[in-house]
Structure 1
Amino acid sequence: MTIRGSSSILGDTKPIWIIDGVLQEEIVNLSVADLVSGDANTLLSSAVAGLNASDIESFEILKDASATALYGARALNGVVVITTKSGKKNQKPTFNYTSEYAVRDLPRYSNYDLLNSQETVSVYREMESKGFLDLPSSFQGRYGGIYNIMYRAINNYDPISGQFELENTPEARARFLQQYELANTNWFKTLFNTTPTQTHGLSFSSGSDNSTMYASLGYYTDGGWTIADRVRRITGNLRNTFYLSDDKLKITTQLQGSIRNQLAPGTFSREEDLVNGSYTRDFDVNPFSYSLNTSRALRPKDNNGNLEYSRYNWAPFNIVDELANNGIEINVSDIKFQAQAEYKFNDNLTYNFLGSARYATSNNEHAITENSNVAAAYRSNETTIVRDQNNFLFSDPDRPNAPPRVVLPVGGILITSKNALVTYTIRNTLDWSKRFKDNLHGLRIYGGQEYRYADRNQSSNTGYGYQFDRGGTVFTDPDILKKAILEGNPYFSASETRQREVAFIANMTYDYDRKYVLNLTGNYEGSNRAGKSSQSRWLPTYTIGARWNVDKEDFIQNSNIISSLAIRPSYGLVALLADNATNNLAVFRNQITDRLNNDDRENFINIEDLQNTELTWEKTLELNLGVDVGLFNNRVMMNFDAYFKKGKDLIDLIRTTGIGGESLKLGNNSEMTTNGIEFQLNTVNIDTENFRWKTGFNISKFSQEITSLKQETNVFDLVTGTGNGNAIGYPKGALFSFQFEGLNEWGLPQFLTQQPDYDPAKPYDKIDFQDTDNVLEYLKYEGGTEPNLSGGLANSFTYKNWDFSFFISFSGGNKIRLAPTYDSEYTDLDVFPREFVNRWIVPGDENRTNVPVIASQSLIQSYGSGELRRAYSAYNYSSERVADGGFVRMKNISLGYSLDKTVIDRLGLSNVRMSLQSTNPFLIYSDSKLGGQDPEFFRSGGVAYPISRLFTFSLNVGF
């Protein structure tokens, strides 16, 4: 693979990806570093039908005016162009087999600053002394760990022996808890595997005078990094090229397809609690989150080898059992057909046609069996205390005096969803070029048209009472549908999106003596996602670029030092349509009024979005200055770029007066500037017959400022560090904090509060996560959440048939919000960071520590439960809980060996290569305050997994 241009692409948006000439909108998170480090196989094949990393012939990055010559307004932040392999003319039939075997390392508790089980139980004992973990709350509460297990044993009477399982004496209880105190369970070993992944690929290529062919078949299997995962995928790729009419006409057809089956842990959507400033999720069985957030004093099995159950959502819970009864199966089918035609009218004029069609479906089944904790939670009503607390039971508003009751008496829940995508791309272009007057003048004129069509359909259905162990028989209590509807959870949904875009492209390039080059590009694009007004829907954009090839000047050509030198200025207007641009027309939804009694409920029409006829493209004016330098016969190559961007008409929410029925409305309400520099250096340090050493280094930095923003962001978005914190004068996704002012005499956190009506007697009364008025007056700015500095260092060594390389990536300039681990109340399921050892315990500790106290029942009653919960949430989002996001990571280490040609010839093969590779082997540097939290991974639960350490063996055989 070859790279042209900088390998670090930064700015306002992600780069666009072009694969065999077609825009790939689904690829949004794949970076060039992923391609270089070998992670592309899984990422690419999951986003593009039938494409594996072994099918890639080359990729290059365009950052200058040529990026917009074909891809127009979308080329805001660079273009990554990928070309797949094809056969060669007059090539004899060639087969190539590749295989990869990769093993992921298990996460280690040594990488995370967490208390062991003995230290954790000591915290539980302190909680017990402060009025928590008593029998009623642990035995009948929503959550319970080792104390719940102990109280169940105390309450378990054996009529045969006439004794309880555990005596309720201090000595017996201490002995019982000691086995958990010494458990020190390694949940990573319980829930994670080292099962290797396997990738097998077989390709065939051949060619004659009139045609070429390339075909590949790939198989990937992953037994799962955790006991809840599994992936199997088959891919196919067939590409034929035909040369007709004495090579004037070239036709290429390509068929790609993939089938993927995947298992993932069952998960529910995360919800924001704007009142208390936290995220909640009723059920989260993510193995990584569970391992980090669950007490190591718990055990997966008891002393007899039986599964041991704690208490979660008022029901028995064992993570191993739950993952076997609560999972998501994903089936994806993806097929793409593409045809290209090129006809040369003469040596100067060429016509090109591209047509592409793609159909993809994804069918998901979230199976929550009758044996799951989720189903048990819907049926948990063993006592009146549990019955009155359990929000999974149904309180019928038509029967206000009736107690809550079970509405999922049998069976489980089957949630099915389907996503379908149909896309078409049609492009016609003419390319004319000619040189005049003894090749002194050159002119190229390029023009074309492109049409893009995309239909997306989504639907989902929630089936209650599905009996998995009885052949799928359905037994549904009608009141569970009533419960779902009353809670605003539709049991069925469907939506569709229609996207139509047209672009007209014109480009002219003139050069004088190949020294002075002028490039003019104009685009005229229209989209149905913009407003009805023609001035909004259709947008002309342009780019003016120039290039001075200084190395072709007489005063440079005879230089023994400078081999190549070029200066590249460009200026232009580029544009994008944000994904959330959906209110070009009014959006109305049929809904049902939210009233207590069912007889009072009725249909009504809700105005989801008012029409915005003037909704238009987000525009960016960009000035770019670039210099390319080659020294010593191009053994030293340097590229330098400086860019200055001014974004306007950026789409954002704005709070209105409510006239028309909508308080928040999307519109072109924001402006932002981004200025940055990029530098790349490639050197050939040693180049001899048997040994070669090459080095590549790149670095980029940018600064960003929001200059206009109509929407006032609330405190919660500003302090959580999820990238939603936007404010005038700061970069996009800024991070703010409550200003921590130490602990008070009771060990509670204090904050700098500047509201004029602040009452010291009620220190937490003004903590309002929904506040939007003048919040920057009392919040502290920490920095951006997006790195504004990034780069990498690569070295490759070749000695005879051996090759060795490593790639180091680095990033910085951002801040990270530490995981929110503090609360006013804990349970005996919780695990605590090591800093809990230094927590406030007795008066006077506020002078030695900033770790707040474990609140007692009396302290909660004194301040109020809600007030104190907000206080601890504010501490989680305070200046004390911020770390630097900069890091240096060893991204990739690779060692390869190719068999000697004489040996290959003797075996009748064309090539044999073996390699060992380690991906993400270790962090070289990160802020110690992170305490093991990966600076590139945000713990969000659900199905999110951290970056894994990967060891790969690859074999490539050609015959």
Structure 2
Amino acid sequence: MKLAFFLFPLQGVASNNPQHVKVSLSLKNIFLTEAFLKIQKSSDYSFVYNVDDVKNFRVAALEVENASIEEVLTRCLKDTGLTYKIEDNVVIILQKPQDERFMILKGWVYDVKKQAMPGVTVKVAGTMLGTATNGQGWFYIHLPKSKGQLEFSFVGYKTQRVDFTENTDTLCIIMREDVKEMEEVVVTGYQTMRKSEVVGSHTVVDASDIMMPAYSSIDQMLQGRVAGMTVVNTSSRVGHTPKIRIRGTSTILGNQDPLWVVDGIIQPDPLPIDQNDMMVDDLRNILGNQISWLNPADIETITVLKDASATAIYGSKAANGVIVITTKRGRKGSTTVNYSANFSFRARPHYSLFNLMNSKERIEFSREAFESGAIYSEAPVASMDTYEGIMYSYYNKNITASDAREAILKLANTNTNWLKLLTRNSFSQTHNLSVSGGSDKVTYSASLGFTDQAGVEIGNDAKNMSGRVNTSIQVHPKVLIDVTLLGSINKTGGYAAGVNPLSYATNTSRSLLAYEDDGSLHYQKQRGYYQYNSSIHYLGYNILNEMEHSYSKNKSSQVNGILNFAWEILPGLKYEFVGGINNNTSVAESYAGEQTNYIAGLYRGYDYGTETYGSEKYNAAALPYGGELYNRTSDVLSWNIQNKLIFMRSFKENHRLNVLIGTETVSSRTSDRSSTIYGYVKERGESIMRPTPLDELKPIGNAPIVGWGILDKLYDGSGWTRTSQLSNSFSVFATLAYVFKDRYVLNASIRNDASNRFGQNQNKRFDPTYSFGLSWNAAHEPWMQGISNIVNQLNFRASFGIQGNTVNSIGPELILDREGIKQGYGEYFSTISRIPNPNLSWERTKTWNFGIDIQLAWITMNLEYYRKMSNNIVNQGIAPENGIAGMDINGGRIRNSGVEYSLNITPIRTKDWGWTIGLNSSKNWNKALTQSIDEITLQNYLDGASDRVLQRGKPLSAFWSFDFRGLNPNTGMPEFNRIFVEDEQGVFLIDEATGNYELLPVAWQDILVYSGKTEPDFTGGLTTRLRWKGLTLGANFSVLLGGKQRLPGLFPDENGNIPLSSANLNKNLLKRWKKPGDEKFTSIPAVYNGRIINNISLQDGKSYSPYMMWHNSNARVVSSSFFRCQQISLTWNMNESLCNKMGIKSLSLNAIMNNVFVLASKRFDGFDPELGDSVQPKTYSVGITVGF
């Protein structure tokens, strides 16, 4: 044994009587050697000890005031097997002398990661003699000399037995997890089951593993985290809602989003929105979804249920999958207070990211086009804003040649940085405070959260305040009451109709001025089209003015209350009552002031402040003063009551049964009120100015008075609406899980939802969903026990079931829309919205699922195959005499099939080092098995139609293109295959009767080529964590493959005309065809000069511009696949000893970078393939978490 003696030097002279020495100390969880040093400083005693005897001991807690040195030493050495003696001023630490009749067993207990395990029970087998390990995993037992076994036990770990003899020295015990004891649970929303009891396909994600400070909602953090779930971002703005699909799209007319469940309560949609209302255009981006109100820091786990076996219990709401969220609960133990803060910085975009023209290049393009006689989509305005305007002014002799050259040079050198003017480097912050703890009978948890996010676009902001309280009370050994209250307030700001700062910055010529030389705003002249002025007029536009005098915003408040009452009636038999109430209020507002171009062009016909009372234009203005204010308030009050009987019992050793029978009653009332106020003046105390009455309006020229715009809204009552909807449902459901010999599992479930939304026939109103599944864990077979230490799980699963889906917007009855007064008749009128169909029934999806789960020593893998057959509701075209174009019927069929796998590897796991790798991916094949019966147009094929099946055997998101052949070597015009008759040399033949090319005798559908699908069919994710002591380096990646999309048009006008001179252009236009021979190097057509092109007549009997056809050809189709580095993080967790010195329980610091990079096709020219016309900004964050 290595011996080392430390003698601290004497400092001063102490009393020879230790009783006279008084010591005051406050020690907490420090090493014994540190305690000796503190005692020495307080008493002037020196210490002598054997290092090996004392080095591993700690003093958990010691608080003394004027205590004797003997009392202090006795308490410090308690349960260590050490004693002391004092000689003069020296304290000598010794091992206790052993009675020859007794012995001491001591040692350390660790887990497989070499981490000390406190609280492990240590006892002599067959006796009551024992102890427990301390905070450092140390144990010490004084017992009679003997031989025997020590038994080490701890919840969730295998019990260890170790032989000992009279000569046994210090032990080192490694505890290993017991898979059965540590088995995960699966929260389905209605019940919590052991993972080994669940056959259905599911994925459980710990919320702490996916936290991303760049986002404020948990749905945005799920991209690339769950096999089979596709998450696509739809906007770069803060507060946006991503698009989520689980195992493909299973409905055409219904809601395609998954069902969200929070603590067992289904979440309703917060606000229905009119998709055709122009004033609410930007509100759709900021309203959020069912769980946008929920603070991610309050979430414990997210469980994604995928197949019928897992979701059939949700009945008619489950075909799109279910996402179950469980919020945090209090735990037994002392009160713990945690505070966390994150501060984020978003970098604004720069022009270097995009392939866009600068001002010199844009002016040069205008010069070339102007001089070649190009035709413009709109005649340029004679002004000094653009090259074309300057040239028009020069040719009209309004300016001299010298003035023109000087003005053009000024524009070429302007190079306005619209991105700098309209975007910003933004700062965001998030703060969370939580308290939790409890006793044997009461546990509690509470939290407060605040988030303030600023988007990179100036004016886009989001704020959220949330609170949560959970209390669980064991009022009786057999009765538990759990109450949760959650609330939040969200505020999000955006833009009014027609204002999109980032889009404007990337689509507006940099040769345009933003400010005059004196610093005032520069207004670009734009041609106006006011309804009540048929003469040509011009209006000024500056986006900075539009942003200053218009906005959209939304404020929503959410309150949730959940009561859970559990009563153990008999051993194994439990009754549960779950009651939930949810109230969501959303107040949306969109405003455009009288100073805006929007109001001037739509309701006034002249620039703000340019006309006086009584002038000709003033008299023609429908709204001479004030702007437009749109308000919408939606209140959704819903309640949910569940009554459940749960029977869980093990029979003998081989049988385990889990049965649930329940009912659910759901009611939801939505009250929606919207109004549009004309003449609203925010700056004058929110006053309202009177619009021009109909009899006072005096249009200029031959402009009509009725049938358009504001007058319709004012006089037909459509400017104000109020709706109320009540939805009630009652359901009965049951589940069964039976386990035999811990390796054979049977699952079954059934649910019946009663609803009057489908069919007048009784059998259409009640349409049950059901499922059953089997699994076999071969690893638990006796013949596998020889390798059980290697193969922990080898589980084979198979399931079948029927999932349902309701389309809330339709029903079996005749639906009339009651309108206002019919002009010309003077009476109320109604229009037919939907005709009755008494045979209408639910959408139903049959699902087969097969899976295998493998768990080895350091590898976990899941592999699944699924097949879904959906019977959808589609809209069928009907004869016009029915008063409506189509009716809803059952008959659409969609098939989704796919494979998924997830792999988790832990190649390194030691005390100081750890490395984990997580992989997941999935491939989905979506195919329509029927075709829509109603009329399908060529444009439907080009765009892809989301509300109908275009072609049997193709995906729902399929689209088609013209087959681009190349550019005509003489004219530079695009030519196409599959349309015209060709001779042997490939030359198009002329039809002598028409003088045009001779058309192939084929259907118009046959001239198009299939281009792919807009939805990706392969998704994947990679997560890796590398730990060294307290430092952890992490990275997250996601990949979406298989999607296609059409690139934005280089010629914004479909006829190939030159775009507005104010528009910026892609630099690729500089590579367009200019002369014969260029067709060998470019596929971009020549600029149209009006002398060399005619529209092309096609097989559908219509004629189209070759430029429109080129834009919609396969030459403009690009893969939207991408590989994204979502996050790189570095976290430092302070070690326990340092925390103790600081008087805290824990401390961690982190630095995170989000949206690090994306790899995609270069043809996007810097734009994000997910967003098309925008980019995801890089975000840099730092954070701190402190526990007290």
TM range (shorter): 0.7 to 0.9
The residue correspondences of 1:94-133 to structure 2 (distance < 5 A) are 94-131=336-373
Deviations 1:6-57 (A, max 9, x none): 54322235443322112234499xxxxxxxxxxxxx9999643752111111
Partner of residue 41, structure 2: none
Counterpart check, 1:902 vs 2:1137:
yes
The question of whether the paired residues in 2 share the 8 Å contact of 1:724 and 1:734 is answered with no
Change (3 A) 1:862 1:664: closer
Distance 1:357 1:615 in 2: 31
Counterpart check, 1:697 vs 2:697:
no
Partner of residue 941, structure 2: 718
Counterpart check, 1:230 vs 2:445:
no
* Aligned residue-pair number: 883
Partner of residue 928, structure 1: 1162
Q: Which of the numbers 1024, 1038, 1041 marks the counterpart of 1:809?
A: 1038
The residue correspondences of 1:359-378 to structure 2 (distance < 5 A) are 359-378=583-602
Partner of residue 290, structure 1: 504
Partner of residue 228, structure 2: 8
Deviations 1:733-783 (A, max 9, x none): 11211222323343333334649999796879999xxxxx95532221111
Distance 1:811 1:644 in 2: 21
Q: Which amino acid aligns with 1:432?
A: F
Partner of residue 540, structure 2: 316
The residue correspondences of 1:724-743 to structure 2 (distance < 5 A) are 726=949, 727-743=951-967
Distance 2:1020 2:588 in 1: 38
Change (3 A) 1:653 1:256: same
Please, which moves more after superposition, 226-235 or 68-77? 68-77
Deviations 1:838-866 (A, max 9, x none): 112235544542212222255589999x9
The question of whether the paired residues in 2 share the 8 Å contact of 1:310 and 1:318 is answered with yes
Partner of residue 630, structure 2: 415
Deviation at 1:321, TM superposition (A): 1.4
- Higher Cα Rg: structure 1 or 2? 2
Distance 2:974 2:378 in 1: 30
Deviations 1:405-436 (A, max 9, x none): 22111111112222221221111111112222
The question of whether the paired residues in 1 share the 8 Å contact of 2:377 and 2:1060 is answered with no
Counterpart check, 1:621 vs 2:863:
no
Partner of residue 146, structure 1: 386
The 3-state SS of whatever aligns with 2:1168 is coil
Distance 1:766 1:294 in 2: 40
Deviations 1:261-281 (A, max 9, x none): 2221112xxxxxxxxxxxxxx
Under a length normalisation based on structure 1, what TM-score does the superposition of the two structures give?
Answer: 0.85
Distance 2:1094 2:932 in 1: 41
Partner of residue 832, structure 1: 1065
Deviations 1:97-120 (A, max 9, x none): 111111112123222222222111
Distance 1:255 1:427 in 2: 18
Deviation at 1:322, TM superposition (A): 1.0
Deviations 1:899-920 (A, max 9, x none): 1211111222121111111121
Partner of residue 263, structure 1: 493
Q: Which amino acid aligns with 1:792?
A: G
Counterpart check, 1:536 vs 2:764:
yes
Distance 1:575 1:750 in 2: 48
Distance 2:1184 2:394 in 1: 60
The 3-state SS of whatever aligns with 1:841 is coil
Distance 2:1104 2:673 in 1: 38
The question of whether the paired residues in 2 share the 8 Å contact of 1:572 and 1:621 is answered with yes
Partner of residue 744, structure 2: 516
Q: Over aligned residues, Cα RMSD in angstroms?
A: 3.6
The residue correspondences of 1:434-583 to structure 2 (distance < 5 A) are 434-436=649-651, 438-475=652-689, 476-479=691-694, 483-484=708-709, 490-559=718-787, 560-580=789-809, 582-583=810-811
Please, which moves more after superposition, 903-912 or 795-804? 903-912
The 3-state SS of whatever aligns with 2:1107 is helix
Distance 2:1017 2:676 in 1: 43
Partner of residue 124, structure 2: none
The question of whether the paired residues in 2 share the 8 Å contact of 1:431 and 1:447 is answered with yes
Change (3 A) 1:903 1:783: same
Distance 1:558 1:203 in 2: 48
Please, which moves more after superposition, 119-128 or 697-706? 119-128
The 3-state SS of whatever aligns with 2:355 is coil
The question of whether the paired residues in 2 share the 8 Å contact of 1:414 and 1:464 is answered with yes
Counterpart check, 1:604 vs 2:819:
no
The question of whether the paired residues in 2 share the 8 Å contact of 1:630 and 1:638 is answered with yes
Partner of residue 420, structure 2: 189
Partner of residue 276, structure 1: none
The 3-state SS of whatever aligns with 2:1084 is coil
Deviations 1:328-382 (A, max 9, x none): 1222122111111111112211111111111112112212111111122246657
Distance 1:762 1:530 in 2: 57
Change (3 A) 1:858 1:834: same
Change (3 A) 1:137 1:796: same
Q: Which of the numbers 223, 241, 262 marks the counterpart of 1:19?
A: 262
Q: Which of the numbers 952, 956, 959 marks the counterpart of 2:1185?
A: 956
The 3-state SS of whatever aligns with 1:323 is helix
Is there any run of 5+ residues in structure 1 with no aligned partner, and where? 29-41, 156-163, 268-283, 388-394, 396-401, 768-772, 940-944
Partner of residue 562, structure 2: 338
Is there any run of 5+ residues in structure 2 with no aligned partner, and where? 1-202, 207-224, 230-246, 250-255, 272-284, 529-537, 698-704, 982-988
Distance 1:567 1:355 in 2: 37
The question of whether the paired residues in 2 share the 8 Å contact of 1:50 and 1:237 is answered with no
The question of whether the paired residues in 2 share the 8 Å contact of 1:49 and 1:256 is answered with no
The question of whether the paired residues in 2 share the 8 Å contact of 1:789 and 1:812 is answered with yes
Q: Which of the numbers 1076, 1090, 1107 marks the counterpart of 1:872?
A: 1107
Q: Which of the numbers 575, 579, 587 marks the counterpart of 1:351?
A: 575
Q: Which amino acid aligns with 1:884?
A: S
Partner of residue 161, structure 1: none
Change (3 A) 1:537 1:404: farther
Deviation at 1:714, TM superposition (A): 2.8
Deviations 1:787-828 (A, max 9, x none): 111111111111101111111111111111111342233111
Distance 2:307 2:403 in 1: 76
Change (3 A) 1:636 1:134: closer
Partner of residue 789, structure 1: 1018
Deviations 1:931-956 (A, max 9, x none): 223221244xxxxx643322222211
Distance 2:377 2:883 in 1: 51
Deviation at 1:591, TM superposition (A): 3.2
Partner of residue 3, structure 2: none
Q: Which amino acid aligns with 1:854?
A: V
The question of whether the paired residues in 2 share the 8 Å contact of 1:49 and 1:235 is answered with no
Distance 1:593 1:504 in 2: 47
Partner of residue 279, structure 2: none
The 3-state SS of whatever aligns with 2:424 is coil
Counterpart check, 1:642 vs 2:865:
yes
The 3-state SS of whatever aligns with 1:454 is strand
Distance 1:644 1:737 in 2: 30
Please, which moves more after superposition, 786-795 or 733-742? 733-742
The 3-state SS of whatever aligns with 2:545 is helix
Distance 1:762 1:611 in 2: 51
Partner of residue 306, structure 1: 520
Distance 2:619 2:875 in 1: 40
Please, which moves more after superposition, 365-374 or 15-24? 15-24
Distance 1:861 1:575 in 2: 52
Q: Which amino acid aligns with 2:1151?
A: L
Distance 2:548 2:320 in 1: 44
Distance 2:781 2:460 in 1: 61
